[in-house]
Amino acid sequence: MNAQHTGEAFFENLSDLPYLYQDIRAIYLTSYDRSGGNDDGFHGTYSEIYRDENGEHVIFDEEGSGCVYGVYFTHPANFTLGRLKFYFHNEKALRIDVDADSFFARRYAPFIYPLVYDRYISSGGFSSVVPISFSQGLKITTERKPGFYGIYYHLIKGRKITSYQKKSDFKNLIDLFQKCGADPKQNAEVDSVYETVVDLEGANVGEIRHVFSYQAEGVVQFIRLNPLFTPDAFALNHTNLKITFDDDTSTTFSVPIGSFFGSGLGETEVRSLFVGMSPSGSYYCYFPMPFQNSLKIELENMKYNASDYPKTIEQYYFEIGISTKFLKNRTDAEIGYFGASYSHAYPATGGDDYRLFDYTGRGAVLGHVVTIEPVHDDVKKWWEGDLRMWIDGETEPSFHGTGHEEDLSQGGWSSFWLMNPFTLPLFGEPKTTGHRMIDGQTNASTTTYRFYPGTIPFSTSMKISIEHGTKNNRAANYSSVVYYYYDPVQTK
């Protein structure tokens, strides 16, 4: 197939992640305040596109081919949406017409767990990640005006796809999500598994310890590691995983182990589709990483010098799964290299957004891990800042969120969100620490992750940032990892 797989087929072909296609436009439609303020759904000002002839509130209306990969709402108590309707191709007989309470209570097959979540599963958010493909247009309405909402979707140029059918059961996707922690790539061929133990004892700042080298073409299918000691958050935030492809420094990335595997606040339970960790010590990464002639994996010590702290055991057990053939070339697609971009600001202050990613070239974003730590107990409402993505030099971002709870983990309502960590296949808030009640509202540090099905392609540039508070009026410590694929030829 010389086009990216769409809908459920995307998840069935995750070995194809490195292929970069250009016939897709990714968009995140939300209820964000178009005036630049913080009325992102509190009063419903921007909570619909228009009211149709039936008096229904239209929250999505697109023509042509595409796929809705995620639908999100939040409400402080019970739902008030009434009926949720999906109109395909201007059809009068609706394929989806359901009471929203029943829908998010998972009483409407195939919209069931682990594809649909209510506020108790995703900490304040009502979400569906069932992929809804459409070939000639789709309109989504609610009976009553929603508050906060977000719809993540793709528009596809130049080809038609098969629309969602009532008979779809999404059994394969349900099985895949229930097995998080195992390799989700159904067609991944692992020819060799290499095991090694790396010891960082005695390493000085900036010192690098060799993990694994390989001189041939291939694809990394998985990286698993197990700390043979009990690492604290400092150790995981100051020990970097460093990977270089094809002996080319332009392909090198170096990122803290903790954030790379899903948590910037130390060990916790992370069970996403692509990366994860456990307090028992089992960490995993299943992103396919192609290389044409060589691979080098290292650990980089970013802590203080060995002479400045007592001797400790810092050993890491690694398993690395390799396919011994490079990916096959395809018409209309480039083969991208895997990247992980780390950023931090201690603290993020001033009038500018915290910048997660700023890239010139061609590629596709897969997702991100973001960790926020308030600078003081009484500095709250940093979570009111919106996540934004500018694709290919846009003047207005295709992605404009409504706040940290929704944008980073599909949760909602700060106190409830911070008090109830969770981990799901495509998004989560796996750990919060330092809870304190300030003037009746919870404040805490948190780490979050979110992945975007189908990826977010870009042709010339991608910029991702997030406000720290409304209009950047709060100071907080931020760190992040963005996962992506890129065309190294265009980058050089």
**16: its two tokens:** 């194809």
Confidence at residue 492, expressed as pLDDT on a 0 to 100 scale: 46
User: Same structural domain for residues 170 and 197?
Assistant: no
199 shares a domain with 172: no
Percent of the chain with pLDDT strictly greater than 90? 87
Q: How many structural domains does the chain have?
A: 3
Rounded to whole angstroms, what are the CA distances from 340 to 252, 257, 284, 367, 492?
9, 11, 15, 10, 17
pLDDT at 149 over 90: yes
Specify whether 160 is located in the same domain as 81. yes
Cα–Cα dist 258/12, whole Å: 28
Please tell me whether residues 279 and 170 are part of one structural domain: no
pLDDT in tens, 430-480: 999 999 999 999 999 999 999 999 999 999 999 999 999 999 999 999 999
> Is pLDDT at 281 greater than 90 in this prediction?
no
Report the share of the chain in percent with pLDDT over 70: 97
Same domain, 375 and 431: yes
The CATH number assigned to the domain holding 80 equals 2.60.120.1390
Q: What is the average pLDDT score of the chain?
A: 94
Helix (H) or strand (E) holding 405, with range, is helix 404-409
Q: Does 226 or 313 have the greater pLDDT score?
A: 226
- Give the domain range for residue 373: 337-491
Say what the pLDDT of residue 488 is. Answer: 84
Confidence of residue 60 (pLDDT cuts 50, 70, 90): very high
- pLDDT of residue 118 exceeding 50, the answer is yes
pLDDT of amino acid 231: 93
In a domain, 355, yes or no: yes
Give every CB contact of residue 109 below 8 A, 6+ residues apart in sequence.
Answer: 169
Encode pLDDT of 16-49 as tens digits: 999 999 899 999 999 999 999 999 999 999 999 9
One domain for residues 243 and 270: yes
The residues, any chain, with a CB within 8 Å of residue 182's CB and separated by 6 or more, are: none
Burial of 319 (0-12, 13-18, 19+ CB in 10 A): middle
pLDDT higher than threshold 90 for residue 309: no
Pair 390, 355 in one domain: yes
Q: How far is CA 87 from CA 49, 122, 136, 163, in A?
A: 15, 27, 11, 11
The verdict on residue 292 lying in a domain is yes
Tell me which of 205 and 17 has the higher pLDDT.
17
One domain for residues 374 and 433: yes
For residue 310, the model assigns a pLDDT of 61
Does residue 276 fall inside a structural domain? yes
pLDDT above 80 for 489: no
* pLDDT above 70 (res 2): no
Per-residue pLDDT band at 266 (split at 50, 70, 90): very high
Residues in the chain: 492
**Mode of pairing for the β-strands spanning 461-466 and 476-486:** unpaired
How far is Cα 78 from Cα 102, in angstroms, rounded to an integer?
12
Same domain for 120 and 224? no
151: which strand partners?
Answer: 29, 71
Higher local confidence (pLDDT), 382 or 157: 382
The answer on 372 and 284 residing in a single domain is: no
208 shares a domain with 165: no
The reply to whether 185 falls in a domain is no
Q: Is residue 38 part of a domain?
A: yes
Q: Within this chain, do residues 22 and 135 fall inside the same structural domain, yes or no?
A: yes
For the question of whether the overall pTM of this predicted structure is more than 0.85, the answer is yes
Q: pLDDT (tens digit, 9 = 90+) per residue, 443-457?
A: 999 999 999 999 999
Question: Is 126 within a domain?
Answer: yes
63 in a structural domain: yes
**Spatial separation of the C-alpha atoms in residues 272 and 278, rounded to whole Å:** 11
In the structure, what pLDDT confidence band is assigned to residue 331 with cuts at 50, 70 and 90? confident
Examine the pLDDT at 1 and tell me if it is beyond 70.
Answer: no
Query: Is 329 inside a domain boundary?
Result: no
User: Tokens 């968009």 belong to which residue?
Assistant: 27
